[in-house]
Structure 1
Amino acid sequence: MLRQKAKQLKRKHLHLQQKGASNSTLMSVALTLSELAQLVDGDIVRGELSVSYGGIASLDEAAADDISFLGNEKYHSQFLETKAGVVIVPKGLDSGPDGVALIATENPSFAFGSAVKHFTAAHTRQFEPGVHPKAIVDESVVLDESKVRIHAGAVVMAGSQIGEGSEIGPNVVVGEEVVIGRDCHLHANVSIRERCILGDRVIVQPGAVIGSDGFGYETVAGRHEKIDQIGIVALEDDVEIGANTTIDRARFGRTVIGEGTKVDNLVQIAHNVQVGKHNFLVSQSGIAGSSKTGDYVILAAQAGIAGHLKVGDHAMLAGRCGVAVDLEGGKKYGGIPAQPLLTHQRQQAAIRKLPELLKRVKKLEKDQ
């Protein structure tokens, strides 16, 4: 009942939004089955080409005028019961609930994303260049005010550079001599410390800190003496950094996040780490100082890599995996310490049998 009520309120809100839009906008939002197939580069399995669909929703919440998708077999039961008008499905699936149109694609989740972009384009906030009067921008900063946007409360310090199309959110702090490329977006409360470098199309989510001091100390005469951290952080093109993630500057040289890498929320990357291209670093994972990952490496949630190690290209570390030695690329790993995933899974299965095995051993000892 609560879900149904929430759904009604959601539809009412959408209706009120559309009511205020122009007729031309409304006409451009709805998609016929034929137009949708073209948009997502899919094949129509069944359905009427001229029928229009005006919304997007999950399988369990969709109505007859909504578009949904099946991107994971875990949701196949929801697919069989869905009330959606059309579902984007994997290629090879040619049957579904009665009355539901089907479009087959290689990647339903990605295809659905194209539909989402279509429906949200009319309501997406447009880039409006300009420097807010309550922003503090040093006079030495290199930027074109007609081609960047800087929000209220932002501080951009001396000697920095901001590329065309970039947006600096509220209360962001950009330190001295920072270089920010084109079409970057720094969301609210981000801190970019001195001399760090961001490539083009970099996204940094709220609260992230780029270039804080590395955790470096030497114990001398019973006291922890801080080691100066004089390096920087370099984020290459198309990197995205999640909320409240921290990336430490190098002791000297650079901490590098490679092109296209996506870093989730609450990730810790230490000084002098070299992350390869197109990595996925999932929430609460961490990499200790001076370690390196190859290209297309995946660290699942809470995975950790100790310092001064190498992880090869296309390696995948399962959740809570702990890396204590160099790992070969192209393999899946799990456990603490990290080992081939299949070996780890077999060990976990054996551990679950231990209570029964102990009972059997005690019985055998008693019977002797």
Structure 2
Amino acid sequence: MQIAAKEIANMLGGSLEGDGDAVISKPGKIEEGGAGTLTFLANPKYESFAYTTEAAALLVQKDFQPSMPVAAKALIRVEDVYDAVRKLLEKFGEERESPTGVSDKAFVHPDAVLAAGVSIGVFSVIEEGARIGAGTLIYPQVFIGKGAIIGKGCVLHPGVKVFHACEIGDNCILQANVVIGSDGFGFAPQQDGSYKKIPQIGNVILEDNIEIGANTTIDRATMGSTVIRQGVKLDNLIMVAHNVEIGDHTVVAAQAGFAGSTKIGRYCRIGGQAGFVGHISVADHTQVQAQSGVAAPVKEKGVALYGSPAIPYKDYLRSYAVFKKLPDLLRKIRELEKKINP
């Protein structure tokens, strides 16, 4: 794909400075920008590269004031650099190969229902009673279980499993090896110390416009539903246990874990490797720093938590500042004790 800088400026509604005919063939990182690339500056710590990059064009914020001449042939000013990059990557990503039509090496049960424009790759399995919405793209080696529902405009990457009776809304993206609807972790202790499996007869519901990262697992409910609400974004390697609910537009970084029946509010931001005990509720707009452990309900909206067990962010920083000084404080206390009790 080749496109002129002036075309990109028009597409993004940006203003152009420099050579509008500069030819762009691919996007690239600002520190690695070479001939024919388009790169961007969104973080001030990378500004020095704006003056040395060999990229054909550079995207910057509308109010960017360079301290010396920019090296790129074309400078494109936009209102929001990150959103402009998103649009560009969508444009350049259109050329990626994907399945078209239904492969003759896929298995589609005669009682499955495929809407118009569904594509299914080789060695995928669509079981009895499953329903796939219009325009959904299913890559190779995907499994869709009995009675499962997949909405329109979804993308299921290789190795995805959506087990029986689970429901996926419209415009959802499931990255490679996501598992939707595996059994919840439920076992009844017996008098002899052994455990017997508790049947998990519920399902998982994903609402619309959700993206789930690679190797993330979402367990089916024991009864009822495990629910991921509209617009949620989950990173890779996240564990969501049975009967959890994650509220609208919450984002969660990699390796976080949610124990059973926990309810996460709307618009929360959760860092990597954060953990949540079961059967608690977390208020809307909560921010949880990476590696924090949330062990109690969070009732106040908009709080930031840090630590394990998690406490308010500023309290944690003050406590940590003291913690680092404990050896020195202990030494001073012992010296004082010797003076008091020689």
Same fold by TM-score greater than 0.5: yes
| Structure 1 position 223, deviation (Å) | 2.1
| Structure 1 position 254, deviation (Å) | 0.6
2:104 paired residue number? 133
1:113 paired residue number? 86
| Structure 1 position 353, deviation (Å) | 2.2
Are the structure 2 counterparts of residues 118 and 182 from structure 1 closer, same or farther at C-alpha, using a change threshold of 3 Å?
Answer: closer
Amino acid at match of 2:78: T
2:251 paired residue number? 280
Are the structure 2 counterparts of residues 79 and 358 from structure 1 closer, same or farther at C-alpha, using a change threshold of 3 Å?
Answer: farther
1:56 paired residue number? 27
2:8 paired residue number? 36
| Structure 1 position 172, deviation (Å) | 1.3
* 2:99–2:120 Cα contact (<8 Å) kept: no
Amino acid at match of 2:120: I
1:15 paired residue number? none
Are the structure 2 counterparts of residues 113 and 96 from structure 1 closer, same or farther at C-alpha, using a change threshold of 3 Å?
Answer: farther
Of residues 123, 133, 147, the one that matches 1:177 is 147
Amino acid at match of 2:11: L
Amino acid at match of 1:306: V
2:317 paired residue number? 345
1:23 paired residue number? none
Higher helix residue share: 1
Q: Match of 1:218, SS?
A: strand
1:258 paired residue number? 229
Are the structure 2 counterparts of residues 236 and 219 from structure 1 closer, same or farther at C-alpha, using a change threshold of 3 Å?
Answer: same
1:332 paired to 2:310: no
* Matched positions, count: 336
| Structure 1 position 138, deviation (Å) | 1.2
TM-score when scaled to structure 2? 0.91
Deviations along 1:123-176, one digit per CA (max 9) or x if unpaired, are: 3326622x22221111111114x6211122111111111111112222211111
| Structure 1 position 60, deviation (Å) | 1.1
Amino acid at match of 1:345: L
* 1:79–1:97 Cα contact (<8 Å) kept: no
Are the structure 2 counterparts of residues 64 and 243 from structure 1 closer, same or farther at C-alpha, using a change threshold of 3 Å?
Answer: closer
Amino acid at match of 1:76: E
What are the ranges of 5 or more consecutive residues in structure 2 without an aligned counterpart? none
1:358 and 1:82 map into 2 onto residues whose CA distance is: 53
Of residues 90, 102, 110, the one that matches 2:61 is 90
Are the structure 2 counterparts of residues 211 and 86 from structure 1 closer, same or farther at C-alpha, using a change threshold of 3 Å?
Answer: same
* 1:68–1:84 Cα contact (<8 Å) kept: yes
What are the ranges of 5 or more consecutive residues in structure 1 without an aligned counterpart? 1-25
Of residues 128, 139, 159, the one that matches 1:158 is 128
Comparing 225-234 with 59-68, which one deviates more in the overlay? Answer: 59-68
1:204 paired residue number? 174
Amino acid at match of 2:218: I
| Structure 1 position 30, deviation (Å) | 2.0
TM-score when scaled to structure 1? 0.85
2:261 and 2:316 map into 1 onto residues whose CA distance is: 27
* 1:276–1:296 Cα contact (<8 Å) kept: yes
2:296 and 2:332 map into 1 onto residues whose CA distance is: 37
Amino acid at match of 1:68: T
2:114 paired residue number? 143
Amino acid at match of 2:97: R
| Structure 1 position 366, deviation (Å) | 4.3
